C-alpha cells in the first residue's frame, strides 16, 4: 500500500546539522523527493533520488536512501534560521501518472 511516515517535529540550534527521517512502505517506489514548505507558501522542490541510488549530495543537502529498510533521510549541514519550515518527503511509483504520495511533514525549528 501507499504509506509514507515522518516524525512530526525537529528542533536544532543554528549551525548544527539537521537530519529529517522518512520511511515508506511500497517497494515499487521509483523516485523519492524532499520538498520544503514555508508558512503560507507553496512547496519548493529541494532534491530527489532514484531508488537505485544510495546517496545524493547537493551543497548543504545530503540524501541517504536505505532501500532494504525503506528509509530515507535528509541531512542539512550548517542549519540556518531560514531553514525553518515544514519538510515533506514524497514518493512516486513506476506508473506514469506522476502522482506524489506525501508524508505528514516534519516541522524543523531552528533556534538562534
Interacting residue ranges for other proteins, rule: CB under 8 A: 30-31, 33, 35, 40-45, 48, 50, 88, 92-100, 102-105
| Nearest CB to other proteins, comparing residues 50 and 80 | 50
Nearest to 100 by CA among 39, 48, 55: 48
- Compute the least distance from the CB of residue 6 to other proteins, in Å: 9
| Nearest CB to other proteins, comparing residues 96 and 112 | 96
User: How far, in whole angstroms, is CA 68 from its chain's centroid?
Assistant: 18
| Nearest CB to other proteins, comparing residues 15 and 41 | 41
- Compute the least distance from the CB of residue 15 to other proteins, in Å: 28
| Nearest CB to other proteins, comparing residues 9 and 13 | 9
- Compute the least distance from the CB of residue 101 to other proteins, in Å: 8
Answer whether 58's CB lies under 8 Å from 51's CB: no
- Compute the least distance from the CB of residue 9 to other proteins, in Å: 11
Query: Given the C-alpha cell 516534519, which residue does it identify?
Result: 106
Q: How many CB atoms are located within 10 Å of the residue 88 CB? A: 22
User: How far apart are the C-alpha atoms of 37 and 86, rounded to whole Å?
Assistant: 5
User: How far apart are the C-alpha atoms of 22 and 48, rounded to whole Å?
Assistant: 13
Amino acid at each position: 500500500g501507499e504509506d509514507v511516515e515522518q516524525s512530526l517535529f525537529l528542533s536544532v540550534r543554528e549551525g548544527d546539522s539537521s537530519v529529517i527521517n522518512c520511511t515508506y512502505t511500497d517497494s515499487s517506489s521509483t523516485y523519492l523527493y524532499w520538498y520544503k514548505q514555508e508558512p503560507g507558501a507553496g512547496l519548493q522542490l529541494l532534491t530527489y533520488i532514484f531508488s537505485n541510488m544510495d546517496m545524493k549530495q547537493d551543497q548543504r543537502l545530503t540524501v541517504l536512501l536505505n532501500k532494504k529498510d525503506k528509509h530515507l533521510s535528509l541531512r542539512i549541514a550548517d542549519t540556518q534560521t531560514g531553514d525553518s519550515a515544514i519538510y515533506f518527503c514524497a514518493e512516486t511509483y513506476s506508473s506514469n501518472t506522476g502522482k506524489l504520495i506525501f508524508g505528514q511533514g516534519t516541522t524543523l525549528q531552528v533556534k538562534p
